[in-house]
Amino acid sequence: MIHEHLQWAQQQFGQSDLGEPRRTARLVKLASTLANEPRKPIVNVTLSPADMEGAYRFIRNDNIKAKAIAESGFQATVERAQQHDLLLALEDTPTLIYQHRSIKGDLGHAGRGKAQRGMLAHSILLFSPEEKNVVGLIEQLRWSRDMSKIGQREQHATRPDEEKESVKWQTASESMTQRLQSKMADVISVCDREADIYEYLLYKLNAQQRFVVRSMQSRCIEESEDKLYQFASE
C-alpha cells in the first residue's frame, strides 16, 4: 500500500518546479505519507523526527509556492485525461471551515456570521463516466471573504462583474480550457444551480463547450414561447 501511495505521489508531484530538486523530493515524500494516512494532521502521521522537521521546514519555506504545487497536480490530470474518450467536469464550491485560533486572522466569514471562519475552494474534478474513474483535479480557485462585507448581499447587483463571486464559474472554465486545449471537445461541464448565470451560460455557448447546469429559474427559450419549466413539463 505504501508503494502505491509513493507511486501516486511521484506521478502527481514528481514534475513540480519548486526551484530545487530536493524540494520536489520532499513534496513527493510528504504527499505519499499523507495519502497513506488520510484525515490525519501532519503532527500525527508516521514520520521520523528528521522527516517531521523536514516537513515543517517545507511548509514554512516562503520560496515554495502553493501555485507551483497545484499546477503540477493539474498537469498530471491533463496527462491522464488523454486516456479517456469522455470526461465529466464536476464543479462545486465547498466551504472549508477551520477552527484553530492561530489562523483565524487569515480567514474570512463563511456565510454564517462572524463566528465561523474559513475559505471557499471552487474546484473542477474530472471524472470518466465510461470507466467510472476519478481522473483528477483540473482547476481550483481559493479565496476568503472580506469580514467587513458581511451582510452586503443586497449590493451584489451593482458590483462590477469582476468583483462578483459568480465570475468563478467562467474563470475556472477558462483555466481548464487553457490546460486541456483540444481535449475540451470531450468534456461536459456539470454544475449546480449556482451556475445558472446568464454570463456563464453565454460564455459556454460562445466557446462551443458542452455543459449541464441545474436550472435555478425558468428562462425564456428559443424552442417555445413557453418558458423553460413549462416547456419541460409538457
**What pLDDT does residue 88 have?**
99
- Claim to verify: residue 140 and residue 209 sit in the same structural domain: yes
Predicted structure pTM score: 0.86
* Residues 109/120, Cβ–Cβ less than 8 Å: no
- Claim to verify: residue 32 and residue 5 sit in the same structural domain: yes
Mean pLDDT by groups of 10 residues along the chain of 234 residues: 83 95 96 92 90 94 96 97 98 86 72 74 97 97 80 53 80 98 98 94 97 90 83 80
**What pLDDT does residue 111 have?**
66
Q: What is the DSSP letter of 216?
A: S
- Claim to verify: residue 144 and residue 216 sit in the same structural domain: yes
Final residue in a domain of this structure, among 36, 64, 92: 64
**What pLDDT does residue 91 have?**
97
- Claim to verify: residue 93 and residue 198 sit in the same structural domain: yes
Give the span between the Cα atoms of 74 and 177, in whole angstroms.
12
- Claim to verify: residue 141 and residue 48 sit in the same structural domain: no
- Kindly report the CATH number assigned to the domain that includes residue 43: 1.10.246.40
- Kindly report the CATH number assigned to the domain that includes residue 177: 3.90.350.10
> How far from the centroid of its chain's Cα atoms is residue 170's Cα?
13
**What pLDDT does residue 145 have?**
83
Give the span between the Cα atoms of 82 and 156, in whole angstroms.
40
**What pLDDT does residue 130 have?**
96
Final residue in a domain of this structure, among 28, 48, 64: 64
Print the domain residue range for 22. Answer: 1-64
Burial 65-91 (b: 16+ CB within 10 A, else e): eeebbbebbbebbbebbeebeebbbbb
Instruction: Quickly list DSSP for 91-115.
Output: EE--EEE---GGGGGG-EE-SS-SS
Give the span between the Cα atoms of 46 and 29, in whole angstroms.
12
- Claim to verify: residue 139 and residue 229 sit in the same structural domain: yes
- Claim to verify: residue 6 and residue 48 sit in the same structural domain: yes
Final residue in a domain of this structure, among 18, 48, 64: 64
- Claim to verify: residue 198 and residue 148 sit in the same structural domain: yes
- What's the total number of domains in the chain? 2
- Claim to verify: residue 60 and residue 135 sit in the same structural domain: no
- Claim to verify: residue 113 and residue 188 sit in the same structural domain: yes
Instruction: Quickly list DSSP for 126-167.
Output: EEETTTTEEEEEEEEEEE---GGGTT-GGGGGGS-GGGSGGG
- Claim to verify: residue 44 and residue 76 sit in the same structural domain: no
Name which of 42, 82, 77 is nearest 58 in CA terms: 42
- Claim to verify: residue 57 and residue 130 sit in the same structural domain: no
